[in-house]
């Protein structure tokens, strides 16, 4: 007699919380924000074709792959709540959600401090916002029962270390090849652009949009 096949859930968005727990509901949303953040980062590259954004996405994937490799190698079990959450079939150290958020937090904080042309207040806003999301994600994974404290600390260490190292590699090594990538055959086909020399991308994009609109209006006349 044939047995029914065994089905497993794709757990990217399969986040559980206790019914009626308002804080748990809020932290469940926080827990999946890193996934949306990574998608938004890649979407930003697809739309704007900035080489810097591409390299951040590559670094993020390297950090996530390293975290997965460590999980498979160390094979540390998740907390006992994994039975209720149906996550006992996967390992816990380090937390990949925490790895992702701390990679971005480290990279964005270092960018705000060393690369941004914004004033001190704006730099602090960027740094505190990214770090706050990282620590909230860290707390949510423990509160919801998906990881132990040591597992999220491990994820924070892996993510922040990868973020800091990748920031140095991008800005001290790869940056000097951005122009060559922009001028390459692939760069011309994909319309890749090097914006690393622009201090304030927000103002530059705004000024270019206004200038383009003004020119189009003059042509219509």
The residue among 49, 41, 55, 44 whose CA lies nearest residue 170 is 55
pLDDT bracket for residue 216 (50, 70, 90): low
- The rounded mean pLDDT for the chain is 83
What average pLDDT does range 66-89 have in this prediction? 86
| Alpha carbon distance 123, 113 (integer Å) | 6
Weakest-pLDDT range from 73-77, 119-123, 166-170, 184-188: 119-123
pLDDT for 25-51, tens place per residue? 898 888 888 888 888 888 878 888 888
Which pTM does this prediction carry? Answer: 0.82
| Alpha carbon distance 110, 65 (integer Å) | 22
What average pLDDT does range 94-103 have in this prediction? 92
Q: 134: part of which helix (H) or strand (E)?
A: helix 120-143
State the pLDDT at residue 152. 94
pLDDT for 48-75, tens place per residue? 888 888 898 899 999 999 999 999 999 8
Residue 191, by phi and psi: left (phi above 0), alpha (psi -120 to 50) or beta? left
């Amino acid at each position: 007699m044939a047995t029914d096949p065994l089905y497993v859930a794709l757990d990217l968005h399969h986040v559980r919380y206790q019914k009626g727990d308002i804080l748990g509901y809020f932290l469940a949303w926080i827990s999946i924000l890193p996934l949306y953040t990574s998608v938004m980062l890649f979407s930003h590259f697809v739309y704007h074709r900035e080489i810097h954004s591409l390299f951040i996405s590559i670094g993020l994937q390297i950090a996530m792959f390293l975290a997965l490799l460590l999980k498979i190698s160390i094979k540390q079990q998740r907390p006992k709540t994994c039975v209720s959450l149906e996550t006992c079939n996967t390992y816990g150290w380090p937390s990949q959600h925490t790895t992702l958020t701390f990679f971005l937090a480290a990279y964005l904080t270092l960018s705000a401090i060393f690369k941004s042309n914004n004033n001190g207040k704006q730099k602090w806003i960027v740094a505190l916002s990214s770090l706050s999301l990282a620590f909230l994600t860290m707390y949510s994974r423990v509160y919801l029962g998906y990881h132990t404290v040591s597992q999220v600390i491990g994820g924070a260490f892996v993510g922040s270390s990868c973020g800091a190292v990748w920031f140095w590699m991008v800005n001290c090594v790869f940056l000097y090849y951005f122009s060559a990538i922009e001028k390459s055959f692939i760069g011309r086909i994909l319309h890749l652009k090097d914006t690393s020399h622009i201090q304030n991308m927000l103002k530059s994009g705004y000024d270019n949009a206004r200038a383009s609109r003004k020119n189009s209006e003059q042509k219509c006349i």
